[in-house]
Amino acid sequence: MAAPLPKRIIKETERLQSEPVPGISAEPHEENARYFDVKVDGPSGSCYEGGEFQLELFLPDDYPMCPPRIRFLTKIYHPNIDRLGRICLDVLKNNWSPALQIRTILLSIQALLGAPNPEDPLNEAVAKQWKENQPEAIKTAREWTTLYAQKK
Amino acid sequence: MPAAFVGDEAAEPVTKTPPSTRKRKLVDSITTSATSQPPATIELPKRKASKTTTASVHDANADAEQAALPATPQTLSSDKPMDSDDDLNSVASSGMLGEAMDDSSVDFDAADSDDDGLEDFQDDESAFESQPKDLRPAKKAFEVDFNVYSPGDIQHQQDRQVEEVATLLEQPAEQTAILLRFMSWNKERLIEQYMDNQEEVLDKAGLGANMSSNPPRLEAIDGFTCDICCEDEPGLQSFAMNCGHRFCVDCYRQYLGQKIREEGEAARIKCPGDGCNKVMDAKSLDLLVTSDLTDRYHELLMRTYVDDKENLKWCPAPNCVYAVECGVKRRDLTRTVPTVNCDCKHAFCFGCTLADHQPCPCALVRKWLKKCEDDSETANWISANTKECPKCGSTIEKNGGCNHMTCRKCRHEFCWMCMGLWSEHGTSWYNCNRFEEKSGTDARDAQASSRKSLERYLHYYNRYANHEQSAKLDKDIFHKTEKKMQLLQSSSGMSWIEVQFLEAASQALQQCRQTLKWTYAFAYYLARNNQTEIFEDNQKDLEMAVENLSEMFEKNTDQLAGLKVDMMDKTSYCMRRRVILLDDTAQRLKEEGWTFNVDLK
Ligand SMILES: [Zn+2]
Ligand SMILES: [Zn+2]
Ligand SMILES: [Zn+2]
Ligand SMILES: [Zn+2]
Ligand SMILES: [Zn+2]
Ligand SMILES: [Zn+2]
């Protein structure tokens, strides 16, 4: 039997449902309230526009002292996201603060889709393409979005 | 030393001396040599009364010197914390493995904090009393000055610097300590910037205005909800620094526990508030850090101090608590190999903290180790049954009669005989008759040249590896011999002092083999000229001296006692050859007189 859910997690979950963030949804699993199914819409104006990206989010035992663990499940062509869907984002690592929340983190991820940063790459190959031939990279990102991130 | 040494049992002579005579002979030889102590054959190094030491050959000699003093048998072969430098290397590198795949925690900010601009500030800044110059013995070219400090010494130095700067800045000690840590213990820079813009420095260090008039305290505030745990019960104790980010005490303590225990942070813990850069000051920490964390916290603060100082390094030996101070700078490492000897007896390079690798400069050591790692598979390869894939270069073993090879790695198909493309072979499956095909000639040329450079590498590598291996065998055989000597001691009443020459010889062997090992890495990168020959002569002389001494350990235990004087002679000769080689190499390195076939930077 798992330990009772901390008040913090209960409150965050409630708020995510009562005041959802536009373009973002996070549903906890019934059997494990620390595990969330996340959907993030590609920001409009970006090469991910029109896509719906699925992620998994897990709150470890020491959350919120440690950041949540998040990974893209949908295949995505992005210099800061690798093949396994892992994300390079400062607030998920060194700049994590226990005062941050699931909602703020998901917003940061959405913002990252709108502003890829090939200077701080996690996916070297994509970053290289992004720097050397940006139009081509953006085209590929669009294609992948159509191919893998269609709303179901 | 022969590849397969003969165990001492196996070498038991055919003509056995009766035990009684054997004992007498042994006692005789002991009394003879006992009259001639301290051993005249061993040069005693000049030792200073002060704590300042000079890296030198003194290990073995010091033991001989020790042997001349009254000592207790218990110290025999004790306090050797490490078995070989390999143990240490593996410890040092093991931290690099681990965490990668588990989450998004790949380390992205591989910030290299080598700030060359800073080092000039610290050049002559030293918190340590320096020794009067005239007390120092004449130094060999391969020796550097260094000091060894205990954790107590380090704490004391920190306190003294804090005190000194606190007076200057007219700030309380706690604040000054934060400021110094914030400035990576660069006093000059702190003072300069502080004088320039006091407010800005205080702000950046997270000290802001009027800390002293408003000491940190816990408060219960009406209507407060903690943003971390979402608790809001009345009377909830909370804390905020003057940035105003307020959290409940429990959350604050958990946060500090996470930072101190899990993340090893101490000197620059920030406010838990999102995006807040305020560094927690010592007073706030005192208020909040629970007693189970204080030891770790202070230990970490001490670590930071040493890590921040370019002239201080922790001894890398496992469980060693000492730090070593040495003035050699990163930019000096092309001209010197700064070996230092910790009080725990571990000799390591101050430049790269690997085990002593004189005479080879750090940059070459790095290259060499990398090469050995990369080539570890190829090193075993040079048998008739392996070749390299002409396309990707990976090693391919021929394990059947068929000449149609398919590279496991790149799927390239080629002919074993001519190394040419298999597709050019038409239908002559088992028989190569296309030896002159263009693709084949090119591939064979490439193979020949790569084989040649590999052969050169293997020449040096085998000798390097051999000394590493032999050092282990030497040590094993010494330990066996030592046990027998101990047995003999108790049955013959022979004094412990009398067997110390063995220990000295063994240590000399270890040290000389360590040196020899690295001479081969050094030689690999040496461009051929006249100087190479001098180096190789020195190398050969040391090698012969070492093998001669090493052979003596293969003698019977009962013969060993009779060989004492001879062994001491050989020991001291080995050490002399080592000094000659190291001194000559270091001198030339200092003068930038060596030509390498790679860049030393
Ligand atoms: Zn709280
Ligand atoms: Zn703050
Ligand atoms: Zn040590
Ligand atoms: Zn080094
Ligand atoms: Zn291949
Ligand atoms: Zn052929």
What would the pLDDT profile of A125-147 be if each residue is shown by its tens digit? 898 899 899 999 999 999 999 99
Smallest Cβ distance to A98: which of B101, B109, B228?
B228
| String of DSSP letters for B84-129 | -HHHHHHHHHHTTSS-SSSSS-----------HHHHHHHTT---SP
Cβ separation of B109 and A94 shorter than 8 Å?
yes
Q: Which residues pair with B404 in a beta bridge?
A: B415
- The topology under which CATH files domain A7-148 is Ubiquitin Conjugating Enzyme (3.10.110)
Which positions ≥6 away from B369 have C-beta within 8 Å?
none
Which CATH code fits B458-601?
1.20.120.1750
Q: How confident is the model at residue B438 (pLDDT cuts 50, 70, 90)?
A: low
Other Cβ atoms less than 10 A from the Cβ of B268: the count is: 16
Catalytic residue numbers of B?
A: 402
Q: Where do the domains of chain A lie?
A: 7-148
Rounded to the nearest angstrom, the gap between the alpha carbon of residue B88 and the centroid of all alpha carbons in its chain is 7
- The predicted-structure confidence for B24-75, as pLDDT tens digits, reads as follows 333 333 333 333 333 333 333 333 333 444 444 344 444 444 433 333 333 3
Range with the poorest average pLDDT among B344-348, B493-497, B537-541: B493-497
CB within 8 Å: A120 and B105: no
Residue whose entry in the numeric block shows the structure tokens 């085209």: A139
- Which positions ≥6 away from B15 have C-beta within 8 Å? none
Mean pLDDT of A26-30: 93
Phi, psi dihedral angles at B314 (to 5 degrees): -75, 140
Nearest to A136 by CA among A119, A151, A111, A118: A118
From chain B, pick out residues whose CB is under 8 angstroms from the CB of A92.
104
Active site residues of A: 88
Q: Give me the pLDDT at residue A97, please.
A: 94
Task: Look at residue A30 and give its three-state secondary structure.
Answer: coil
Residue B112, number of CB atoms within 10 A of its CB: 5
**All structural domains of chain B with their residue ranges:** 27-129, 149-308, 458-601
Please state the ipTM of this predicted complex.
0.83
> Exposed/middle/buried for B469, CB within 10 Å: 0-12, 13-18, 19+?
middle
Q: Please enumerate in sequence order all residues whose Cβ is within 8 A of that of B417, keeping only pairs 6 or more positions apart, or say none.
A: B403, B432, B435
Give Cα separations from A51 to A112, A143, B337 (angstroms): 14, 10, 59
CATH architecture of the domain formed by B149-308: 2-Layer Sandwich (3.30)
Highest mean pLDDT, choosing among B195-204, B341-350, B440-449:
B341-350
- Binary contact (B105, A93; C-beta < 8 A): yes
Query: Lowest-confidence range among A1-5, A18-22, A144-148?
Result: A1-5
% of residues, chain B, pLDDT over 90: 29
User: Which residue in the set A88, A95, A99 is minimally distant from B227, CB to CB?
Assistant: A99
Which phi and psi angles does B226 have, rounded to 5°?
-75, 125
> B353 in the Ramachandran plot: left (φ > 0), alpha (ψ -120 to 50) or beta?
left
> What residues contact residue B486 under an 8 Å CB cut-off, 6+ apart?
B76, B499
Output the pLDDT for position B210.
Answer: 56
* pLDDT value for B37: 39
Distance B401 CA to ligand 4 centre (A): 48
Per-residue model confidence (pLDDT) at position B446? 67
Residue A86 CB-density burial (10 A; 0-12 exposed, 13-18 middle, 19+ buried)? buried
**Amino acid in the structure at residue B337:** V
Mutate to test the interface with A, among B104, B236, B274 (most CBs of A within 10 A): B104
Query: Please, are residues B298 and B292 in contact by the beta-carbon 8 Å criterion?
Result: no
More confident residue, B282 or B27: B282
Q: What is the dihedral of CA B502, B503, B506, B507, to 10 degrees?
A: -150
Q: Binning pLDDT at 50, 70 and 90, where does residue B474 land?
A: confident
Instruction: Write the residue in B103, B109, B228 that is nearest to A64 by C-beta.
Output: B228
Cα dihedral across residues B165, B167, B169, B173: positive or negative: positive
Give A-chain residues touching B276 at CB under 8 angstroms.
97
* Per-residue model confidence (pLDDT) at position B281: 76
